[in-house]
Structure formats: C-alpha cells, structure tokens
C-alpha cells in the first residue's frame, strides 16, 4: 500500500475537512527484522504507524509471547504517550519495516487545533480498552471459552494462525464435548478474539 495513502487514511484524520501538514513530520525510520522499536525503558514518546513490513508486540519478559501484530497502516505506542512512565511491552520488527512516528508534541498541537482529531483519538483508545477487557474476561474465565482461547494462543504461529483443526481431536485434547467446543468458538468469534475461514483459525492476540 502507498505510504502517503496510509498516512492520509489514518484514523486520526477521519471526518476532518482538511489534513494537517504531514510534510512537517520527522522522516520515517527503517528497522531490520528482530530490531527493537519500543522497549520498556527505551521508547520514543510517539505513536508509531507501520508504513511497510510488519511489527509485533511481545511480553517484556517473554519474547515468545506475541501480544499483537501490526501490518501496514496499523498503529502502536499509545501507552507511551501523555504520562506513561514505562512502556508496557516490547515492540520489535517482525520483518524489515518502515515506521512513521507521530511525536507527542505534534499530537498535542493537532488536538488543540482540531477537536475532531482528539475525539478520534479517544474513540481509538476506547476501542482498545474494550478489546483488552474482552481478552481479560476470556483469560480469567474458567469455562470452555477461556480454555479454548489459551490453547489456541499457545499453539498458533507468530501471527496467531493455526492449520485446519479436527474438532473431535481438539475436544478430546481440551476434555470437553463438541457442542461446548463449538459454542466456545462462537463466543470467541463474537468478541473478535478469533477469525475462522475455510476451516482455518487465526487468533487475535
């Protein structure tokens, strides 16, 4: 996707009559695969927008625990802004990538000049809170949904993708009936915590 088109389509700019001057932003930064972009004690006070390639957030103390993945157009780094004292995870380049940073000072100026942009940002944060609350509810659930979600997260690849699953074998592995298993899949799908297509499953982590 064209980098300029990615920036112009950013959620911050929805319902604006005109875009801010994007030429005043710092130049995009390139990262090699595996390179750290944000770390708990070393991160820019900025939102990151992936322009090319792919990045992923991993648990600060468990690099194997992938929390989220970001392709072109995806945004990360909100937790680094407006008072954050330490970043909550590590973001690394999952492949060679280019990132456009939106510094906190720039965002402050934009929000003061254009209230709609501030509303767009609040809507973005609200969506993230809802998503995280849904994940917390599943992780703390002792029922079929929580058990299934934990198994899928543990057995998916870096993108959360799993091959076609045998419902009979999966039900046996999780020690639950097929009806409960299908119901658990439906519940997770309604909460946007997984996607099913052509018999394959991808977990949204």
Instruction: Report pLDDT digits (tens) over 68-106.
Output: 788 899 998 887 788 766 667 788 998 999 999 999 999
**Other Cβ atoms closer than 10 A to 105:** 10
Give residue 28's pLDDT: 96
Give residue 113's pLDDT: 93
**Other Cβ atoms closer than 10 A to 23:** 5
Q: Are 100 and 28 in contact (CB under 8 A)?
A: yes
Model pLDDT for residues 166-192, shown as the tens digit of each residue = 888 888 777 788 888 888 888 888 888
Average pLDDT rounded to a whole number, residues 113-136: 81
* Mean pLDDT value across the chain: 83
pLDDT tops 60 at residue 114: yes
Q: Are 72 and 50 in contact (CB under 8 A)?
A: yes
Q: Are 101 and 37 in contact (CB under 8 A)?
A: no
pLDDT band for position 65 (cuts 50, 70, 90) = low
pTM, rounded to two decimals = 0.66
127: left (phi over 0), alpha (psi -120 to 50) or beta: alpha
Give residue 116's pLDDT: 94
Provide CB contacts within 8 A for 46, sequence distance 6+.
77, 80, 81, 101, 102, 103, 104
Give residue 84's pLDDT: 63
pLDDT band for position 155 (cuts 50, 70, 90) = confident
pLDDT band for position 128 (cuts 50, 70, 90) = confident
């Amino acid at each position: 996707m064209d980098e300029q088109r990615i920036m112009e389509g950013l959620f911050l700019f929805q319902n604006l009559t005109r875009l801010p001057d994007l030429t005043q932003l710092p130049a995009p930064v390139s990262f090699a695969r595996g390179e750290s972009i944000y770390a708990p004690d070393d991160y820019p006070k900025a939102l990151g927008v992936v322009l090319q390639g792919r990045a992923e957030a991993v648990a600060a103390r468990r690099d194997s625990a992938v929390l989220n993945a970001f392709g072109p157009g995806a945004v990360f780094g909100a937790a680094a802004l407006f008072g954050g004292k330490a970043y909550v995870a590590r973001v690394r380049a999952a492949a060679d990538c280019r990132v456009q940073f939106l510094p906190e000072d720039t965002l402050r100026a934009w929000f003061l000049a254009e209230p709609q942009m501030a509303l767009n940002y609040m809507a973005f944060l609200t969506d993230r809170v809802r998503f995280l609350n849904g994940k917390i509810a599943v992780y703390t659930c002792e029922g079929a949904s929580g058990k299934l979600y934990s198994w899928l997260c543990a057995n998916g690849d870096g993108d959360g993708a799993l091959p076609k699953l045998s419902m009979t074998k999966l039900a046996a592995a999780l020690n639950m009936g097929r009806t409960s298993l299908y119901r658990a899949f439906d519940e997770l799908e309604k909460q946007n915590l997984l996607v099913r297509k052509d018999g394959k499953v991808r977990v949204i982590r």
